[in-house]
Structure 1
Amino acid sequence: MVGVAGLFSYPVKGCAGMALGATELTERGLAHDRTFLIVDEDGAARTQRGQPQLARIHPDIDPDGRRLTLSAAGIESFALAIDVAAPRRTVTMFGHPYRAIDQGDAVAAWLTEAIGLPSRLVRVPPEHTRVTDGLVPGTSAFADSCPIHILSVASLAGLNGAITARGSDPVALNRFRPNIVVDGWDEPHTEDRACRLTIADTALGFAKLAIRCAVTLVDQRHGVRVGPEPLRALATYRRAAGGGVAFGAKFAVLRPGLLAVGDDVTVTEWDSGQKNAGITEGPPALVSPARFLPDWRRGGSPTAPGGPDCRYIP
């Protein structure tokens, strides 16, 4: 059977994720995913691309979304009553302006101490509108682009087979910060070929391949860049036609609902073109995923267009 093996939400963009047993899938993605953004004095987003130490901050958000707790080693935890009524301000992410709600001076002081750089915390406003790109458009909060990132156990196992064959240590699942981990597909990168899939009563539409960046070089436990894997291995067999390397797939939400670990995953429309179109061929031999994924297996932290014309959009 093909099913959901892991669900992960990242309430504060760039910070550690929360492993979930069940959650709501909204139009913007998993509940509370990337709802908050850390910015500098000028309102520009801080991410792990520039500040890998963000990974050491662990958010925990109440199910009702009213209280956020931030924790990090060497500093007392901070509990925040989330403000959705404060005046809006403009922030920028990858050069694009967005309206956001500043969460106040107290949490700003905590983040500044935890990160070591002047920082503030903002929240996406209820009236937030954003259209994400890809084959199936969607909307998201402060995610890089599409609301859902799916990665399969088979893809990670294949990649780690390639990495260990080169004499390097395997990389952890959390390097890729997926939202939904799927187990049960026999072949790596099957997520690339799913034009439309259902999980429980929800439905997702393929938007584009996930082009990987320097965040994958960050050790998510220690918040430091360790490179060169996994990008070095991916460059040998997962180069995308539009540049960069692809690993995992981005999806838009077609039908919201409830998700849980263990739910069946059913692909209702497959790509009719060549498997992994636009991707360098020569995937590595598959190895046992259990060798690389002990933590999350124990539950630890850390009507759409498609059909015959479904193609890859980098």
Structure 2
Amino acid sequence: MTSRVIIGVSAASVAAVIGVYLWGKWKSSRKVAEVTQLYTYPIKSCHRIELTTSECSSRGLKYDRCWTIAKKVEDGNKILSQTQYPKLAAVVPELRPLSNGKIELHITAPGMSSLVVPEELPPSSPTVVSDGCISGEGQDVGDEASQWFSKYLGIECRMYYMSPSHQPRYFTDHTTYGSLGKPSEQTSFANTSSLLVVTENALDDLNSRLQAQTLPIDRFRGNIVLRIPEDSSVAGRKHPEDSWTHFTVGSVKLRAQRPCTRCVVTTVDQEEGVVKGPEPLKTLRTYRMYSGSNKILQSRKNGIFGVCCAVLEGGTISIGDGVYVPYSIF
């Protein structure tokens, strides 16, 4: 065998070894963070429920944004949010399990008697409800709940429930988000994504820039709250979550769709249900603006905080779970 052949074989062998190594590195992952808080919001735009563990499917955490409040408008049924009605934040839900495997939703609010809404409802035709961008099916839960919310908000409205059998919400404008949010990915009544992931580190960074106040993490209404350890090599970078294109939390595999562009809901005190001024939007605009190519996200001038995620593979998420990112991202 000539030396040229030997060299060629050796080079091929080295290349194969390097290829196997890089493939293994891409397939493997490293722990970069830990779950510290877990929240579900059964009624869209209403108060949170703190969890220690939760099942997670393609639509997000179990029962997250499965109920919504909507009012009749000329062209359909418009979903209401804290943008127009900040006092929704003070509506507190509680999930109570029943012996048949279903739950009852117990609801309280300032100045109101308690309300009980069963998950199991008499059969009826679903109603399409929308917020103007995305729409889906929901079942009217009945007059008692609708009258309760109508009295609380001071407008005529109805309450709807999206069961697992109902058509989930999809993007009605398939070009709005492009590759940042594919229309084939389903959600409940959540805004554009199944899960919102936020980090305590990002909040620490924000609070260090605020002049006269500090804000709690609940202003950002995330589902999964993470802490990136200070001794992690990724902690030296500001907002390393920006680079996580896909990652695993507990047994759930996620894909990052886009950074979360924030709105005036972040200015609402989530305990009192009242607007508390321009923060955090005023400060976020100074250092956390969307810098990608998407025209829609570029047009939003309120800053970004958190990551909107799609669920690639469901499972269970618990407080204390590690967050693992493929080595290929580093």
The partner residue of 2:57 within 26, 32, 41 is: 26
The answer to whether the 8 Å contact 1:84/1:101 transfers is no
State the partner residue of 2:225: 181
Q: How far apart, in 2, do the equivalents of 1:95 and 1:11 lie?
A: 21
Q: What TM-score, normalized by structure 2, do the two folds share?
A: 0.77
Q: How far apart, in 2, do the equivalents of 1:17 and 1:183 lie?
A: 20
**Residues 111-122 of structure 1 mapped to structure 2, 5 A cutoff:** 111-122=149-160
Q: How far apart, in 1, do the equivalents of 2:103 and 2:149 lie?
A: 19
> 1:6 aligned to 2:37?
yes
Q: How far apart, in 1, do the equivalents of 2:255 and 2:146 lie?
A: 37
> 1:169 aligned to 2:219?
no
Deviation, 1:85, is 2.5
The answer to whether the 8 Å contact 2:198/2:226 transfers is yes
> 1:45 aligned to 2:79?
yes
Amino acid at match of 1:158: D
Identity %: 29
The partner residue of 1:59 within 76, 82, 93 is: 93
The partner residue of 2:168 within 107, 129, 136 is: 129
Amino acid at match of 2:220: F
The answer to whether the 8 Å contact 1:7/1:22 transfers is yes
Amino acid at match of 2:251: D
Deviation, 1:89, is 1.7
Deviation, 1:112, is 1.5
Amino acid at match of 2:38: L
- Over the aligned positions, Cα root-mean-square deviation in angstroms equals 1.9
Deviation, 1:62, is 3.3
Q: How far apart, in 2, do the equivalents of 1:97 and 1:57 lie?
A: 23
The answer to whether the 8 Å contact 2:126/2:140 transfers is yes
Deviation, 1:203, is 0.6
Amino acid at match of 1:182: L
Q: What TM-score, normalized by structure 1, do the two folds share?
A: 0.80
State the partner residue of 1:295: none
Deviation, 1:230, is 0.3
Query: Structure 1: 5+ residue runs without aligned partners?
Result: 273-314
State the partner residue of 2:286: 236
Amino acid at match of 2:51: L
* Secondary structure in structure 2 of the residue aligned to 1:221: coil
Amino acid at match of 2:125: P
Please state which structure has a larger fraction of its residues in helix: 2
The answer to whether the 8 Å contact 2:169/2:189 transfers is no
> 1:108 aligned to 2:146?
yes
* Secondary structure in structure 2 of the residue aligned to 1:107: helix
Query: Structure 2: 5+ residue runs without aligned partners?
Result: 1-31, 172-176, 230-234, 292-297
The answer to whether the 8 Å contact 2:47/2:93 transfers is yes
The answer to whether the 8 Å contact 1:32/1:65 transfers is no
Which has more radius of gyration? 2
Q: How far apart, in 1, do the equivalents of 2:122 and 2:259 lie?
A: 33
State the partner residue of 2:125: 87
State the partner residue of 1:253: 311
The answer to whether the 8 Å contact 2:289/2:304 transfers is yes
Matched residue count: 269
The answer to whether the 8 Å contact 2:66/2:162 transfers is yes
What are the superposed Cα offsets for residues 108-157 of structure 1, whole Å, 9 maximum, x if unpaired? 11111222222210011423134455546432111110101100110000
